Amino acid sequence: MVLHSSLYRFLAIASSFIARRPSATLPLAMDYLWTPWRYAYVSTAEKSVGCVFCNAVEANDDEKTLIVHRGKHCFIILNAYPYTPGHVMVVPYQHLDELRKLPPEAATEMMQLSQRMESILRELYHPDGINLGMNIGKAAGAGIAGHIHMHILPRWIADANFMSVVGETRILPETLQETWKRMTATFLQS
């Protein structure tokens, strides 16, 4: 099997983050990937009170809460734990747990904003495709089951690499703050 030089470089970089440590409770073959930047999530995940979307709107600090755009019925927010760079969500202001409860005008705006975000993602990231969808209810995979939201994320052929498939770790090339800056600037121009 012939591997591309970029894969070799990737594996060399990734292996520098992996350390083998003996443990009294874990098998000797266990690999550890140290991710100190995830501490903010781990240490606050269970402490959040209320709905993360409702809280973001009420905070009135779009840069801090990663809100890219505020419409009349819906807003666009970056996913704080993105699957790929540019992963956004279109969220109605109304706190609803089912799409069928969403008023028609909000549903229309949600789709219009989704179309606009598709164009912006194509312009900024040049993806091979776009995922668009909702998970309604915990059983369907919704991380925030009480407040419906539409995910929109750019995808590339073979973007599910070694680190995400085997290592269950995402590697993102830009910070959320950089994504927010680029996206809000492009949104204002479109």
pLDDT tens string 32-63: 555 555 556 556 555 568 999 999 999 999 99
Instruction: Using DSSP bridges, classify how beta strands 18-19 and 32-33 pair: parallel, antiparallel or unpaired.
Output: antiparallel
Cβ burial, residue 53 (10 Å; 0-12/13-18/19+): buried
Cα–Cα distance list, 67 to 25, 30, 166, 168 (Å): 43, 39, 32, 27
Structure confidence at residue 142 as a pLDDT band (50, 70, 90) = confident
115-128 per-position pLDDT tens digit: 999 999 999 999 99
Query: In this structure, are residues 190 and 119 in contact, taking their beta carbons and an 8 Å threshold?
Result: yes
- 87 assigned to some structural domain: yes
**CATH label of the domain that carries residue 169:** 3.30.428.10
Task: Based on the residue annotation, tell me whether 4 is a catalytic residue of this protein.
Answer: no
Query: In this structure, are residues 168 and 117 in contact, taking their beta carbons and an 8 Å threshold?
Result: no
Provide the domain count of the chain: 1
Domain encompassing residue 157: 50-189
Catalytic residue among 95, 126, 149, 151: 149
pTM score: 0.72
- 141 assigned to some structural domain: yes
- 19 assigned to some structural domain: no
